[in-house]
């Protein structure tokens, strides 16, 4: 997010739409071992960095001095996406396309069910985070 802050004009709005893991409950210090294992399998298959929560993004935005921070959970709107992708992948045309795409794409396709599992368990969320760079903010090189 530091790079977004660097390049946005003073007073400009930053919009992040991303997959996140669920926010931790007040009595939790981390996700469960099984939740972490599921996210790791997804990361390994899709070459993703570590997951964070919407609350983590809010903290980062605050630490960067951003204002008017707002979030929305779009999970219910995006939840049909993965089953639709899986359905299209198992069509004749989809299977031919997968075979032509190579092993990395096939590996990714096989992991789609893990995304669905994560959504069903409430682990994977699809979040919208918006915030604004203050008009007078000067960004340090360390952000």
What is the CA 60 to chain-centroid distance, rounded? 15
Q: For residue 132, give the 3-state DSSP assignment.
A: strand
pTM, 2 dp? 0.79
C-alpha distance from residue 133 to each of 12, 58, 90, 127, 142 (Å): 6, 14, 45, 20, 16
**Averaged over 72-84, what is the pLDDT?**
84
Nearest Cα residue to 14 out of 135, 131, 127: 131
Q: For residue 41, give the 3-state DSSP assignment.
A: helix
CATH number assigned to the domain covering 2-24+31-132: 3.40.50.150
Instruction: State residue 141's pLDDT score.
Output: 53
Please state, in angstroms and rounded to a whole number, the distance separating the CA atoms of residues 113 and 36. Answer: 16
Instruction: State residue 98's pLDDT score.
Output: 61
Phi, psi (rounded to 5 degrees) for 16 = -120, 125
Please state, in angstroms and rounded to a whole number, the distance separating the CA atoms of residues 18 and 76. Answer: 14
Q: What is the pLDDT of residues 128-140, one digit of tens each?
A: 999 999 997 555 5
Q: Residue ranges per domain, the chain?
A: 2-24+31-132
Percentage of residues of the chain with pLDDT beyond 70: 80
How many other C-beta atoms lie within 10 A of the C-beta of residue 133? 24
Q: Give the pairing of strands 13-21 and 67-73.
A: unpaired
Looking at per-residue confidence, does 40 or 82 come out higher?
40
**Averaged over 108-116, what is the pLDDT?**
78
Nearest Cα residue to 118 out of 46, 29, 16, 15: 46
**Averaged over 5-34, what is the pLDDT?**
97
Judged against a pLDDT cut of 90, whether residue 103 lies above it is answered with no
């Amino acid at each position: 997010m530091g790079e977004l802050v660097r390049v946005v004009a003073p007073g400009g709005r930053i919009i992040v739409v991303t997959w996140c893991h669920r926010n931790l409950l007040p009595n939790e210090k981390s996700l469960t071992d099984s939740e972490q294992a599921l996210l790791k399998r997804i990361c390994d298959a899709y070459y993703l960095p570590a997951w964070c929560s919407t609350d983590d993004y809010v903290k980062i935005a605050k630490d960067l001095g951003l204002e008017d921070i707002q979030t929305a959970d779009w999970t219910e709107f995006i939840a049909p996406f993965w089953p639709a992708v899986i359905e299209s992948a198992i069509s004749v045309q989809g299977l031919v396309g997968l075979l032509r795409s190579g092993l990395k794409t096939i590996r990714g396709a096989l992991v789609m069910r893990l995304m669905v599992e994560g959504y069903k368990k409430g682990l994977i969320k699809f979040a919208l985070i918006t915030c604004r760079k203050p008009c007078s903010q000067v960004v340090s090189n360390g952000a």
